[in-house]
Amino acid sequence: MKTLQATNDFVIKFANVNGSGSASANTLFAKSIARMGVPVSPRNIFPSNIQGLPTWYEVRVCEAGWNARRGGADLMVAMNPQTWEKDVAEVTPGGYLFYDSTRPMPAGKFRDDILVIGMPLTEICNATYTDPRQRQLFKNIIYVGALAALLGIELAEVEKLIGEQYKGKEKLLEPNVKALRMGHEYALAKLPCPLGLQVQRADKVGDKVFLEGNNAAALGAVFGGATVCAWYPITPSSSMAEAFAKHCRKYRMDKETGKNNFAIVQAEDELASIGMVIGAAWNGARAFTCTSGPGISLMSEFIGLAYFAEIPATLVNVQRAGPSTGMPTRTQQSDVLLCAFASHGDTKHPILFPQDAKEAFEFTADALDIADRLQTPVFVLTDLDIGMNERLCDPLTWDDARTYDRGKVLTKEQLDAGARFGRYLDVDDDGITYRTYPGTHPSRGSFFTRGTSRDRYARYTEEGTAYVDNMQRLLRKFETAKHFMPKPVVRPAAKPSRYGAIYYGSTAPAMEEALALFEADGIHLDALRVRAFPFQDAVIDFVNDHDHVFVVEQNRDGQLRTLLVTEGALDPARLGAVLHYDGTPITARFIHGDIAKRLSALQVTPLRRTVAGGASGE
Amino acid sequence: MTYLAKPKLHHPDLPKNALGLTRRDYEGTISTLCAGCGHDSISAAIIQACWELAVQPHRVAKLSGIGCSSKTPTYFLDKSHGFNSVHGRMPSVLTGANLANRELLYLGVSGDGDSASIGLGQFAHSMRRGVNMTYIVENNGVYGLTKGQFSATADRGSKSKRGAVNTDEGIDLACLAMQLGASYVARSFSGDKHQLVPLIKGALTHPGAAFIDVVSPCVAFNNHEGSTRSYDYVRHHNEAVNSLDVITMHKEITAEYPPGSLQEVRQHDGSVLRLRKLADDYDSSSRIAAMSYVQSHYARGEIVTGLLYVEPDAIDLHEHLGTTMRPLNELGDKELCPGSAALAQFNASLR
């Protein structure tokens, strides 16, 4: 049998039982590879469950730095008997299977086209530890030690990480290091070290940081000046609110009084969360909520109020697979239309589409400015893939010269100076009107906020002309919004092309890798990454400048494509939908395969078959 | 109908409060509710209470949901910012507003349709959290704007104007508020201004979640025989347990009462709630005794009114959260943004 041979370019997948403490060991494994200067992108694949169900951790080791999921598994660490068969079947031919051989397995449970490596993990643990919890936890560390030996990971890097993790907790440090070494020594002595898959020190990580999108977005809310957070727990967004609380405790306590320069309320539901955000923002505080698709459905009535009454609100939607409860722990980009048009009546809402943790940080901070500037709900659309996975990205940056844009707010001094105030009076001709915070002035600037129709001076009216005047101004405001939203990123092909591709959000890493594959094929495809809705002219021009444009996204119905067609008045025939929506993150293999097929149907250049390392999986 | 302006002229000798303001300075636009509507009496009581307390009108934020009662904030305090939110969701909007600026007075006005049906959840949770507010439900047992359907507070067995009998149990919001942790709970009747005005004043000075259930007859749809929210029915079945005087900190206490019948409750801000007992066996300092009293009298067909329960040392949501004394909406970049040096450290911890 010919086994796979690869250095710094393979996928290892851990099959675990959730609640078994495997997560921290697996993270340790992934981080130690990054510490060797080799880019790595791990992904959690987990069930909606606390304990006992299968969970996977997929680590792509890739010196070229592709962060997307690759698909397939070259080495399976099969620690879960429940999923044994599926896990064994998933291994790439010529790949490797690492398992706990304490209990003998019947020969029929294996494959003869993969190399099987058994290590009696349970036996070793039982011989060393008496406490059942310790047996479980250290088993994970022992296999990390063994894998380090098998894959050529420097033990010193793993030990350094353990040292950092248990700094100040020496009692825990020592037994962890001991377990790690135990596994390492066992593997060197008894297992076929080294495997054909090897990690070799490189310098491809640089100053990159290993960061989760939810954590980054939460920090963005802190830097962006959010003081009120109201939320309701929902996967996969809960960790954002929790991270916000953690960051606030660190960065937002008043040093003299010990009091909090923030307020976080876990509301009774999503309706109350957005209600509190709107109340706080109406009263001049920066406020946000984080949720997922079902939460947006529930918030829709309030979103319409904030749109019509013109109250800022920042909503971070960490998307998951819908509809309904859908697949709560799987990723999708299926809330684009929901967010663009949330609530009854004619509404449109600005959306930002971060591609990774770094942009999740930046766009969340930006969204707070944009919401205040436009006085309207603003969405930051991430997803489970960005939100709940640690990923290598460029270090976060902040310009200390930056100040918050609080938008058009009249102060007591301005009112005293005789500023003409009509809450819905468009004095600057950009659709954005001036507001006042409650309590500003004893006799000027008060107004009544309502979801009913009103005139330019906030007086209730059901006059058709006043209503239309207001609705038209809201459209002007939406046009103005384009100036404040992040611009699209264009990646022209090496040579001029009649074909283009549009993508956004978490599709970016896979798309960029696919573009490299096309380039290697000699196929030229211009690409544009949408970063915001409303679409700037550059987005519509990009479509108009090409004969055919593929819109690559992770939902069934081509939601961004629909939005492009309606908002840009584009010919749908010229926009091809490349759709991946099974709940797993999209891969370059999928995009490359699908677009290549369509291009050949469009009768472009004949394609040569491309194979990029590894094998099965898609 | 805000185009209906009120006459600007008023009597030159109208009495002035400590701020030099007359009652007219606390008014709003002309009411568009039906003539004789109990809600208008409540608006008048709010105006009177704010004037007597010499509240700065613009330092009040008035919030409501949807319905007849929720329209009333336009009819008082026109120097205040108002917010007519969505049906049943005033409590969350008020909570958020309160978080943003703890220095304003928050007045939530709602109805029984708004608070006991769609808004029951938000009503409950705002009480649980101890939001510092005055929450008034103008309770008429009926949906007025949609023409006479029963609301969730309508008593079982009461009759609608069309003769239908309500078979669902009625919700007692005052009892619910007590059970859920509100620290000031009262019930009154829109037709009894002498009782209602001090109760509103007490609620406005109370440093926690204050709730007042005001029975407020609907003259259009619920003022007939067989209704338990009609003027006649409430007058005949009203059992006031105490009468309240609110003495703000700058006023001297002068009135004299027979010993034993008087209870004084001193609040955080120095104001004193002086309660004169009307029912000997009523104890407004015990949540459980109060609930038991109210419920057993309800079983006899009596509507217990007065200050039902008060907890003088109430702790509000800001205290629970440990929020800074400065309004959050006044904090700027300097206090809020950790800056690039902190970010560099954060980056370093992620490698």
Mutation target vs B (from A161, A212, A265, A455; most B CBs, 10 A cutoff): A265
Distance from CA of A172 to the nearest CA of B (A): 20
The verdict on a CB contact (< 8 Å) between A448 and B84 is yes
Chain A residues in contact with B333 by the CB 8 A cut-off are 225, 402-404
The three-class DSSP label of residue A131 is coil
Give A 425-454 residues with CB within 8 A of chain B: 436-443, 446-452
Look up residue A457 and give its two tokens.
Answer: 């001076």
B84 touches chain A (CB under 8 A): yes
Mutation target vs B (from A40, A265, A283, A389; most B CBs, 10 A cutoff): A283
* A495-511: pLDDT as tens digits: 999 999 999 999 999 99
Chain A residues in contact with B58 by the CB 8 A cut-off are 438-443, 446
Identify whether the C-beta of residue A371 lies closer than 8 Å to the C-beta of residue A341. Answer: no
The verdict on a CB contact (< 8 Å) between B329 and A450 is no
Evaluate the CA torsion angle B74, B76, B81, B84 in order and state its sign.
Answer: negative
Query: A499: how many CB neighbours lie within 10 A of its CB?
Result: 22
Distance from CA of A503 to the nearest CA of B (A): 28
Q: Give the nearest partner residue to A302 out of B89, B339, B340, using CB atoms.
A: B89
Cβ-in-10-Å burial (0-12, 13-18, 19+) of B279 comes to middle
A377 touches chain B (CB under 8 A): no
CA distance A157 to A481: 48
The verdict on a CB contact (< 8 Å) between B89 and A287 is no
Cβ-in-10-Å burial (0-12, 13-18, 19+) of A111 comes to middle
A603 touches chain B (CB under 8 A): no
The verdict on a CB contact (< 8 Å) between A398 and B339 is yes
Identify whether the C-beta of residue A604 lies closer than 8 Å to the C-beta of residue A499. Answer: yes
A137 backbone dihedrals φ, ψ, rounded to 5°: -65, -45
Instruction: Report the first-to-last Cα separation within chain B, whole angstroms.
Output: 63
The three-class DSSP label of residue A107 is helix
Distance from CA of B72 to the nearest CA of A (A): 12
Give B 264-283 residues with CB within 8 A of chain A: none
pLDDT, mean over chain A: 95
Strand ranges (E), B90-225: 105-111, 133-139, 142-143, 149-150, 184-189, 209-215
The three-class DSSP label of residue A115 is strand
Instruction: For residue A387, give the nearest of A229, A552, A216 by alpha carbon.
Output: A216
Average pLDDT per run of 10 along chain B, which is 351 residues long? 63 92 95 95 98 97 97 96 97 98 98 97 98 98 92 95 95 98 97 96 97 96 94 94 86 55 83 88 93 95 96 94 98 97 97 90
In this prediction, residue A613 carries a pLDDT of 44
User: Which residue ranges make up each domain of chain B?
Assistant: 23-335
Identify whether the C-beta of residue A328 lies closer than 8 Å to the C-beta of residue A48. Answer: yes
Assigned CATH class of B23-335: alpha beta
Q: Which helix (H) or strand (E) holds A276?
A: helix A270-282
CA distance B111 to A232: 26
Instruction: For residue A431, give the nearest of A370, A472, A401 by alpha carbon.
Output: A472
Mutation target vs B (from A450, A453, A456; most B CBs, 10 A cutoff): A450
Chain A residues in contact with B97 by the CB 8 A cut-off are 279-280, 282-283, 438
C-alpha A531, offset from chain centre: 14
Chain B residues in contact with A424 by the CB 8 A cut-off are none
B8 touches chain A (CB under 8 A): no
The verdict on a CB contact (< 8 Å) between A272 and B129 is no
In this prediction, residue A19 carries a pLDDT of 83
Distance from CA of A189 to the nearest CA of B (A): 32
Per the DSSP assignment, residues forming a β-bridge with B64 are B84, B109
Identify whether the C-beta of residue A84 lies closer than 8 Å to the C-beta of residue A91. Answer: no
CA distance A455 to A447: 12
Distance from CA of B10 to the nearest CA of A (A): 18
Q: Give the nearest partner residue to B86 out of A305, A395, A448, using CB atoms.
A: A305
In this prediction, residue B5 carries a pLDDT of 66
For A307-330, b/e burial (b = at least 16 CB within 10 A) is bbbbbbbbbbbbbbbbeeebebbb
Instruction: Report the first-to-last Cα separation within chain A, whole angstroms.
Output: 23
Domains within chain A, CATH numbers bracketed: 6-198 (3.40.920.10), 211-393 (3.40.50.970), 408-486 (no CATH), 489-601 (3.40.50.920)
Bond prior to A486 in cis (omega within 30° of 0): no
User: How many Cβ pairs closer than 8 A exist between chain A and B?
Assistant: 224
In this prediction, residue A47 carries a pLDDT of 84
| Start-end of H helices in A166-237 | 170-190, 213-223
DSSP tag of A606: P
Distance from CA of A362 to the nearest CA of B (A): 12
Mutation target vs B (from A207, A276, A288, A315; most B CBs, 10 A cutoff): A276
Cβ-in-10-Å burial (0-12, 13-18, 19+) of A284 comes to buried
The verdict on a CB contact (< 8 Å) between B329 and A284 is yes
In this prediction, residue B2 carries a pLDDT of 45
C-alpha B37, offset from chain centre: 18
Cα maximum dimension of chain B: 77
A223 touches chain B (CB under 8 A): yes
Distance from CA of A486 to the nearest CA of B (A): 21
Identify whether the C-beta of residue A277 lies closer than 8 Å to the C-beta of residue A246. Answer: no
Q: Give the nearest partner residue to A259 out of B99, B101, B323, using CB atoms.
A: B323
Tell me which residues of chain A have a pLDDT lower than 70: 603-618
Q: At what angle do helices A270-282 and B90-100 cross, to 10 degrees?
A: 50
Chain B residues in contact with A305 by the CB 8 A cut-off are 85-86
CA distance A520 to A565: 31
B102 → chain A, closest CA residue: A283
| Start-end of H helices in B108-230 | 112-113, 120-129, 173-180, 193-205
The verdict on a CB contact (< 8 Å) between A265 and B80 is no
Distance from CA of B344 to the nearest CA of A (A): 8
Amino acid (1-letter code) at residue A394: D
Evaluate the CA torsion angle A7, A11, A15, A19 in order and state its sign.
Answer: positive
**DSSP secondary structure letters along A364-391:** HHHHHHHHHHHTSEEEEEEEHHHHSSEE
